[in-house]
Amino acid sequence: MIDIHEKFFYFQETFSADTASTIGSGDVAMYPVSSFLGFDTVDTSDSTVVLNMRFKPLLRSVNDTASATSDDVDLMALTVTANKQKDVIKAITDKLNEPLSRDSGFIVIADNEGADGSSSEYVSEHVTSVVVTIRAAS
C-alpha cells in the first residue's frame, strides 16, 4: 500500500526516436522512495559517469524467488558529469530531506523533455540525461 505521506522519484527519458512528441513504452517511471535500493556507478568516459539508481521492480515476476539477481531490479541510469556523482547523490538526499509541503512529495530526478516538452529538468546541474530500464515481468 502506498503511503500518501511518502515522497516519489520521477524519471523521463527523451521522447521516442520515431516522433518528437510521443513517450514510448517504459520511457517514464515513478517510484516511492521506499522502493529505492541504492546507488552505484559505471565509468563511461573522461567527461561523464553513469550513476545508477536501483529500485524494487514495478512489474513482478510470477516466478519470483528468494534468490535475487541484477535482473531483479529496475535501473535508472543517470549520466553525470565526471567526478560529480557525490554532488548528485547529495542533491537527491537534500530533496528527500525537504518538507513534504515543499514539493508535494513529487521529486523530479531526471526529466529529459521537461514539463513543457521543450526544456529538461534535473535534480542537479551535473545530471545530463537518464535511461529508464524497467524489468519485464516473466
Q: 29 in a domain, yes or no?
A: yes
Residue 87 three-state SS: helix
Is the alpha carbon torsion for 12, 13, 19, 23 positive or negative? negative
Asked, for residue 138, whether it belongs to a domain, the answer is: no
- Residue 112 within a domain: yes
| Residue 65 located in a structural domain | no
80 near 51, Cβ under 8 Å? yes
Q: Is residue 3 part of a domain?
A: no
Rounded mean pLDDT for each run of 10 residues along the chain, 138 residues in total: 78 67 70 95 88 90 52 90 96 93 90 70 95 80
| 67 in any annotated domain | no
CB 129 within 8 A of CB 113: no
Q: How many domains does the chain have?
A: 1
∠ CA 3-109-74, rounded to 5°: 70
Give the predicted TM-score (pTM) of the model. Answer: 0.81
Domain that holds residue 119: 8-15+23-57+73-133
Residue 62 lies in a domain: no
User: How high is the pLDDT of residue 38?
Assistant: 96
